[in-house]
Structure formats: structure tokens, C-alpha cells
Amino acid sequence: MVSFDDVNTNNQFELIEFNALKSSLEKLYGYNWKPASSELVDLNGVIWSGNKVNLELNRIYYSENSFYSGFLHIYDKALMKKMYESEY
């Protein structure tokens, strides 16, 4: 996971940065993405679902400290399935 903010310096992940990164990812991976959504937090997010991996780009607002955070997360579907099925 790659994070695009720094709460210590109040360097937030701005909407213009989210949109620029989303546009770059669309050029690489196409426009066939699903919106990410949440009823719990203010969220801008998109998910590309490939055959073996998912790529997620998210921008989340944390109201408790009035801060926008963002991250890019790439994960292997088979590995995540095994992890969820395990009894760790």
C-alpha cells in the first residue's frame, strides 16, 4: 500500500491529486473500474478488478481530525482468499 498524505505535516491528499492519479491509472489500466463506496466515511474511490489482482485508489475524509488521506492498494486475490479462509 502506498499512502499519499502526512498527518504530521498536514499534507493532505487533495481532490485534484486524486483526479490526476485516477486519470493516469485510467490511461494504464482502462476505464473499466468500479466506484468504491462507504456509508461510514466520505470517500472518493475507484477499483480496477483484474484476473489475479485488484487495484484500489481511495481518498478518505477523517472528520475527527478534519484530514483527507489517500492510498493506492494492490492486492492478490488468491492470497487474500487464503488469508480470509485461514484460522490465524
Q: Which residues pair with 55 in a beta bridge?
A: 48, 74
pLDDT at position 88, please?
A: 59
Cβ atoms within 10 A of the Cβ of 52, count? 8
**10-24 per-position pLDDT tens digit:** 889 999 999 999 999
Rounded Cα distance, 13 and 62, in Å? 12
- Distance in angstroms (rounded) separating the CA atoms of residues 70 and 6: 10
pLDDT at residue number 71: 93
Rounded Cα distance between 56 and 72, Å, is 6
pLDDT tens digit sequence for 37-48: 777 678 899 999
Q: Reply yes or no on whether the pLDDT at 31 is more than 80.
A: yes
